[in-house]
């Protein structure tokens, strides 16, 4: 998606989308989640979505706390359930733009079942999964996306479990829009999110974030800029032909849009299928 | 409370007993009575004991489940003794003469009738439930038979309507013969 | 059928009651013996511009119900024991964020998978205390098909009025029982609509309440842009652990039940005024108790029935007053003894309390109650 020309009146001022009374925020220094939130709100701004008609639903964990900072209709729900909650909300209120923020534990472990079924149903929701490879809120336990051999508080000898590829999972489950980007490149992430939100149907975006304070420290990955550079080293963007210069990261990850297809949207389909009953 | 009537249709799974119970309940309500209907909910479509119970009252039943049967139909072997504990001197029991071979005995009125044979003669063993329903009602006299026949025709699946009507009439004929034999 | 009467199954009456109460959203997961409610809702909701969805599991269906409720729809789900266990998580969330909704538990034999097609009253305590933490909840226990219909309507009214999940609790026997009923449209006063916030945004505090302890809700899209969280929150809706604010929130949540007791409580008594033996029972067991009371009175035993239609909060005051003149209290129930615990707690000194538990998948029969009552006062 191309950059659109911005007039000064259109200029994105994140403060217009934040609950400033909630600041200072509670994220750790160097956490990538703030950048992800910035990209999201920038995309919302560019799409011209009315804050009053925006609903942000999040689960439990560091990613789950983000909804509280957004000046919109926000719902911080139970662990793993934001997609299930959002399904009810969107069905009751098709007029709202509903965006779900989840994490690798929230969305892939405890909420994994809801994720695959949301992908399959294709209700018009956008799901951001902020992947920082760890349960940060609870003190640094292993998650379904923790890279091989990384240390966490529950893998004192290193992680030996294979990791989930969230995008392949979403694709396999039938999502009509799937993409991945890192917090390293906020404008690119913003563009990806803009397309995902505008997409009719279920869109899934995995955001490679980083947890410096807990995961980074435990694995001696350096400070935030160093961790972000590791992200960069692991990236294989479409636009680069998926080349890589230095394979630092144990699990190299492609970025960009992997799935973009038009499928019948759940609510439209429901209305069409039940039209006969409604005419009775 | 006026007279309470307790009726059970029993047999084995897949015999349309639940439908027969529903038809009888509809007729009873049309006749101005109130019905509490319960049934076995085990997956019995491939055999096993199946039953439809009706507690018939003029007002809301205190207890909606059967405790002492006034009328019992036993269509098939699995049901032969399942209701023994609920029978008493005033009970009327109607059982299939061929299928229910083990002795159903007691101080109650027992009618052994060729329910299955009659159904097969009419066209299908599937309507044994309707044959039984007609015979039971004719003997028991707790609902006008014309009203029940109307419900049989109205509530049975459309493609079996004629067959059910024939089965019903054959059931009435059976009962008429039975009464004559007892006189 | 005559006079608007028809033969209706208990579970169908529940679905029709929900529609009559204005329920427009149902999310559920198949489970015996409650599935007929979902099947009826799937057929009926589109006719009234409502939405039915079968979710991937019980947890998701409860979450979707809360989502739809906060979106502005009257919403319901139905389940049985195993599913009710799974729903407790988001039931607690609904209590914390004060999302009106109705949860139906059609009880079957337990624990665990237990007996899917057999009745039980094993969830009486789970319905009260199933989700963690101190919490308010309202539980209604109808005992006829007709009452399933009217109590479902009342469940929605209470849920909306109190901003609280309301549990409708009945057993497999009643769920599958067909009875002759009239499903009249409810009178206007029986249907309660959501109270939405109308004050200017600057003046709005999402969890500030007046005398009635029930805050007006912010409808998404109306410009309030409120925050909703399962974390302990202040009046603005934002997380807090400040002890005074935590206590204020819990005082208000827990206080809803006492403040609205006259509205919530519903009791039926039969021949209770001069009863020597007072029988306390709910659901299908109360039907057996009705028959037992009739039989006992016929044979000269002064028996009466106290039936808490609103099971929780238990109608304590009315029960205590009723129990004062009794010599003994009998508590038949289809479990190992749950309701009897509450009765023992509340019974006046000197009044004998005896349980009559049964947990073999068969209902407590009238005869058993008659015999136990005779023994108690004989």
Residues of chain C with pLDDT under 50: 1-2
CATH code of the domain covering residue C95: 3.40.50.970
For C295, other C-beta atoms within 10 Å of its C-beta total 17
Judge whether C157 lies within some domain: yes
Mean pLDDT of chain A: 91
Q: Please judge whether B30 and C366 are an interchain contact, meaning their C-beta atoms are less than 8 angstroms apart.
A: no
User: Predicted confidence band at A224 (pLDDT cuts at 50, 70, 90)?
Assistant: confident
Same domain assignment for residues C283 and C339: yes
Same domain assignment for residues C49 and C166: yes
Same domain assignment for residues C250 and C285: no
B51 close to C (CB below 8 A):
no
Residue B183 is predicted with a pLDDT of 40
**What is the separation of C-alpha C143 from the centre of its chain, rounded to a whole number of angstroms?**
12
Residue range B32-56: average pLDDT?
85
pLDDT at A251 over 60: no
User: Predicted confidence band at A243 (pLDDT cuts at 50, 70, 90)?
Assistant: low
CATH code of the domain covering residue B71: 3.40.920.10
Residue B177 is predicted with a pLDDT of 80
Six-digit token string for C263: 């509205």
Q: What pTM did the predictor assign?
A: 0.95
Same domain assignment for residues C219 and C313: no
Residue C267 is predicted with a pLDDT of 98
Residue B180 is predicted with a pLDDT of 56
Structural domain that includes position B124: 5-182
Judge whether C208 lies within some domain: yes
The domain segmentation of chain A, as residue ranges, is 16-279
Six-digit token string for A189: 């992430």
Same domain assignment for residues C152 and C290: no
Residue A227 is predicted with a pLDDT of 87
- Assess whether chains A and B touch, using the rule of 3 or more C-beta pairs within 8 angstroms: no
The residue among B86, B142, B144, B137 whose CA lies nearest residue B111 is B137
- The number of folded domains in chain B is 1
CATH code of the domain covering residue C348: 3.40.50.920
The model's pLDDT over A99-113, given as tens digits with 9 standing for 90+, comes to 999 999 999 999 999
Same domain assignment for residues C114 and C64: yes
Collect all residues with Cβ–Cβ distance below 8 Å to C21 and sequence separation of at least 6. C74, C152, C153, C155, C156, C157, C186, C190, C191
Main-chain phi, psi angles of B43, to 5 degrees? -70, 90
Same domain assignment for residues C209 and C176: no
Query: Which residue is associated with the tokens 């997409």?
Result: A199
Main-chain phi, psi angles of C376, to 5 degrees? -70, -40
**Dihedral, CA atoms, C171, C177, C182, C187, nearest 10 degrees?**
10
In CATH, A16-279 is 3.40.50.970: yes
Counting residues of chain A whose pLDDT is more than 90, the rounded percentage is: 81
Judge whether C100 lies within some domain: yes
Same domain assignment for residues C253 and C289: no
Residue B13 is predicted with a pLDDT of 74
- The number of folded domains in chain C is 3
Judge whether C77 lies within some domain: yes
Q: Which residue has the higher pLDDT, A237 or C232?
A: C232
Chains that touch A (3 or more CB pairs under 8 A): C
Q: Please judge whether B63 and C291 are an interchain contact, meaning their C-beta atoms are less than 8 angstroms apart.
A: yes
- In the listed set C167, C190, C213, which residue is the last one of a domain according to the structure? C190
pLDDT at A4 over 70: no
Residue C329 is predicted with a pLDDT of 98
DSSP state of A155: B
Structural domain that includes position C245: 202-262
Q: Is the ipTM of this complex over 0.85?
A: yes
Residue A225 is predicted with a pLDDT of 87
C298 close to B (CB below 8 A):
no
Q: Please judge whether C180 and B29 are an interchain contact, meaning their C-beta atoms are less than 8 angstroms apart.
A: yes
Judge whether C63 lies within some domain: yes
Residue of C47, C51, C66 with shortest CB distance to A270: C51
Task: Round to whole Å and give the CA distance between C91 and C164.
Answer: 10
Six-digit token string for C62: 């409860």
Residue B102 is predicted with a pLDDT of 78
pLDDT at B46 over 80: no
The model's pLDDT over A190-212, given as tens digits with 9 standing for 90+, comes to 999 999 999 999 999 999 999 99
């Amino acid at each position: 998606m191309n950059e659109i020309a911005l007039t000064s009146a259109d200029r994105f001022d994140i403060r217009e989308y934040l609950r400033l009374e909630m600041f200072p925020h509670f994220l750790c220094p160097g956490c990538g989640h703030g950048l992800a939130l910035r990209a999201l709100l920038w995309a919302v701004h560019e799409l011209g979505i009315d804050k009053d008609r925006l609903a942000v639903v999040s689960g439990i964990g560091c990613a789950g706390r983000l909804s509280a900072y957004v000046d919109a209709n926000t719902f911080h729900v139970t662990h793993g359930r934001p997609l299930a909650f959002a399904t009810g909300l969107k069905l009751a209120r098709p007029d709202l733009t509903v965006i779900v923020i989840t994490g690798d534990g929230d969305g892939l472990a405890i909420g994994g079942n809801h994720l695959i079924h949301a992908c399959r149903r294709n209700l018009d929701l956008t799901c951001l999964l902020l992947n920082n490879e760890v349960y940060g809120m609870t003190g640094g336990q292993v998650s379904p996306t923790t890279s091989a051999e990384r240390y966490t508080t529950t893998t004192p000898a290193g992680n030996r479990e294979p990791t989930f590829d969230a995008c392949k999972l979403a694709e396999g489950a039938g999502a009509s829009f799937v993409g991945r980007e890192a917090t390293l490149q906020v404008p690119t992430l913003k563009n990806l999110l803009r397309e995902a939100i505008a997409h009719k149907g279920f869109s899934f975006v995995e955001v490679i974030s980083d947890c410096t304070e807990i995961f980074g420290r435990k694995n001696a990955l350096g400070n935030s800029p160093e961790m972000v550079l590791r992200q960069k080293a692991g990236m294989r963007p479409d636009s680069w032909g998926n080349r890589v210069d230095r394979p630092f990261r144990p699990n190299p990850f492609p970025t960009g849009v992997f799935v973009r297809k038009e499928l019948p949207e759940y609510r439209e389909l429901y209305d069409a299928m039940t039209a006969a009953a409604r005419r009775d | 409370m006026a007279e309470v009537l307790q009726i059970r249709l029993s047999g084995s799974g897949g015999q349309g007993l639940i439908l027969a119970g529903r038809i009888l309940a509809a007729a009873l309500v049309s006749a101005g009575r109130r019905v509490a209907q319960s049934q076995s909910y085990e997956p019995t479509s491939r055999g096993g004991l199946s039953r439809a119970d009706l507690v018939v009252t003029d007002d809301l039943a205190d207890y909606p489940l059967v405790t002492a049967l006034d009328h019992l139909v036993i269509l098939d072997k699995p049901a032969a003794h399942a209701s023994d504990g609920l029978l008493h001197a005033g009970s009327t029991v109607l059982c299939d003469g061929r299928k229910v071979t083990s002795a159903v005995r007691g101080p109650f009125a027992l009618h052994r009738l060729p329910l299955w044979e009659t159904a097969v003669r009419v066209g299908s063993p599937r309507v044994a439930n309707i044959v039984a329903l007609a015979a039971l009602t004719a003997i028991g006299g707790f609902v006008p038979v014309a009203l029940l026949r109307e419900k049989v025709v109205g509530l049975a699946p459309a493609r079996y309507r004629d067959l059910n009507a024939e089965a019903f009439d054959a059931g009435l004929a059976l009962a008429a013969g039975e009464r004559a034999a007892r006189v | 059928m005559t006079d608007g009467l028809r033969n209706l199954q208990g579970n169908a009456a529940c679905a029709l009651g929900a529609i009559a109460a204005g329920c427009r959203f149902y999310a559920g997961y198949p489970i015996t013996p409650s599935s007929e409610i979902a099947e009826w809702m799937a057929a009926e909701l589109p006719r009234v511009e409502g939405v039915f969805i079968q979710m991937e599991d019980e947890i998701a269906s409860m979450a979707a119900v809360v989502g739809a409720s906060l979106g502005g729809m009257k919403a319901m789900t139905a389940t049985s024991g195993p599913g009710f266990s799974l729903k407790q998580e988001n039931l607690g969330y609904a209590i914390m964020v004060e999302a009106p909704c109705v949860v139906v538990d059609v009880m079957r034999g337990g624990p665990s998978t237990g007996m899917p097609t057999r009745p039980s009253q094993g969830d009486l305590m789970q319905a009260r205390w199933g989700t963690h933490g101190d919490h308010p909840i309202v539980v209604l226990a109808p005992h006829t098909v007709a009452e399933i219909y009217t109590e479902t309507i009342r469940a929605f009214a209470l849920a909306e009025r109190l901003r609280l999940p309301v549990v409708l609790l009945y057993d497999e026997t009643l769920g599958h029982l067909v009875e002759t009923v009239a499903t009249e449209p409810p009178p206007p006063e029986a249907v309660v609509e959501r109270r939405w916030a109308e004050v200017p945004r600057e003046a709005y505090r999402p969890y500030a309440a007046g005398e009635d302890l029930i805050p007006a809700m912010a409808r998404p899209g109306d410009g309030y842009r409120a925050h909703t969280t399962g974390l302990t929150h202040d009046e603005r809706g934002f997380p807090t652990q400040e002890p005074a604010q935590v206590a204020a929130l819990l005082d208000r949540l827990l206080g809803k039940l006492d403040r609205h007791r006259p509205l919530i409580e519903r009791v039926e008594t039969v021949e209770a005024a001069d009863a020597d033996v007072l029988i306390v029972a709910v659901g299908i067991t109360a039907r057996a108790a009705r028959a037992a009371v009739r039989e006992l009175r016929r044979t000269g035993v002064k028996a009466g029935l106290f039936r808490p239609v609103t099971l929780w909060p238990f109608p304590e005051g009315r029960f205590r007053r009723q129990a004062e003149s009794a010599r003994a209290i009998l508590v038949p129930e289809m479990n190992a003894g749950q309701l009897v615990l509450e009765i023992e707690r509340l019974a006046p000194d000197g009044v004998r309390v005896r349980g009559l538990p049964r947990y073999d998948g068969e209902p407590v029969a009238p005869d058993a109650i008659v015999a136990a009552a005779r023994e108690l006062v004989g």
